Amino acid sequence: MALVAEKRSTSWFLPAPVDDQPLPVNIDTGNAHIARVYNYWLGGKDNFEADRKAAEMVVESYPDIRVGVRTQRAFLGRTVRYLAAEAGIRQFLDIGTGLPSADNTHEVAQRVAPESRIVYVDNDPIVLAHARALLTGSHQGSTAYLDADVRDTGEILRVAAETLDFGEPIALMMLGLLQCVPDADDPAGIVKRLLNAVPSGSYLVISHPASDILADQMARGATRMNTVMAAPVTLRTRAEVARFFEGLDLLEPGVVQAHRWRADPPDPDRDIPNYGGVARKQ
């Protein structure tokens, strides 16, 4: 296992296992965080009362939210398998990692190509505390973790370059992330800055909750949840999500409900308010 964290860059930190140490002192347990809310929806235990309260506010408005987050995980698995097995991608920059779960990006990629290199990025101290689970990659490849906010693209790119070769194609993974960036912070500009740093042949993968599918339920859930979130979420339409892919070659079937992106066998014909898409940089 190659632990880039051992380079002692000030942005990297390899903690002891969570069971062996107290929780990091800088965790804000009074406000919900999206990574911990997702953890609750997925049946995890790494969440606090504020996270559970926010999660249940959405469940009350949209009872199938747990189905939705599971389809997002399945979408991640399908896209990483495609990129590693068919597109020949060996480098992944996964921003908005979330808490470790089954089939994380490095696990899927390195099953196909053990030499794959993965950099994870998140800004929740709980995710940081679990970083060791995200650094258990293959001996042939490498995995690393960066504690950073997606808005700090310069720092992300600088430190990711310690693990990834920016002269070779990179898959930029942004699943369940951009809803945490309000329009005022120019999420499209963030995506463009990251894409400008990767070469031709790189890929962009996005999943994003929808505002125009089950619109009333989703709007009520988001509005209620945002009253207790440290960083509010922004739902977007299909057209708004598609704009993140402008200038790229969208793979078939384009921007679709995530559970319908190359599912085999196809998922049941039901609407799940979460878009997904994959595109290649020319």
- What are 58-103's pLDDT values in tens digits? 888 888 888 888 888 889 999 999 999 999 999 999 998 877 666 7
Q: What pLDDT was estimated at residue 125?
A: 76
Alpha carbon separation from 39 to 18, 64, 67, 97, 224 (Å, rounded): 16, 15, 13, 11, 19
Q: 4-29+65-213+233-280 has which fold?
A: Rossmann fold (3.40.50)
Q: What pLDDT was estimated at residue 209?
A: 94
Q: At 9, is the pLDDT very low, low, confident or very high (cuts 50, 70, 90)?
A: very low
Going by C-alpha positions, the residue among 213, 190, 208, 180 that lies closest to residue 278 is 208
- What are 171-213's pLDDT values in tens digits? 999 999 999 999 999 999 999 999 999 999 999 999 999 999 9
pTM summary value: 0.85
Instruction: Outline where DSSP puts E strands in 211-260.
Output: 249-250, 256-257
Query: Do residues 68 and 218 lie in contact, with contact meaning Cβ atoms separated by under 8 Å?
Result: no
User: Residues 22-48: what's their mean pLDDT?
Assistant: 76
Question: Per-residue pLDDT for 27 more than 80?
Answer: no
Alpha carbon separation from 271 to 90, 117, 120, 166 (Å, rounded): 33, 35, 30, 38
Tell me the domain boundaries of the chain: 4-29+65-213+233-280
Radius of gyration (C-alpha) of the chain in whole angstroms: 18
Sequence letter at residue 73: R
Going by C-alpha positions, the residue among 69, 75, 22, 30 that lies closest to residue 49 is 30
Rounded distance between C-alpha atoms, residue 277 and residue 16, angstroms:
36
Mean pLDDT estimate for the chain: 85
Q: What pLDDT was estimated at residue 115?
A: 96
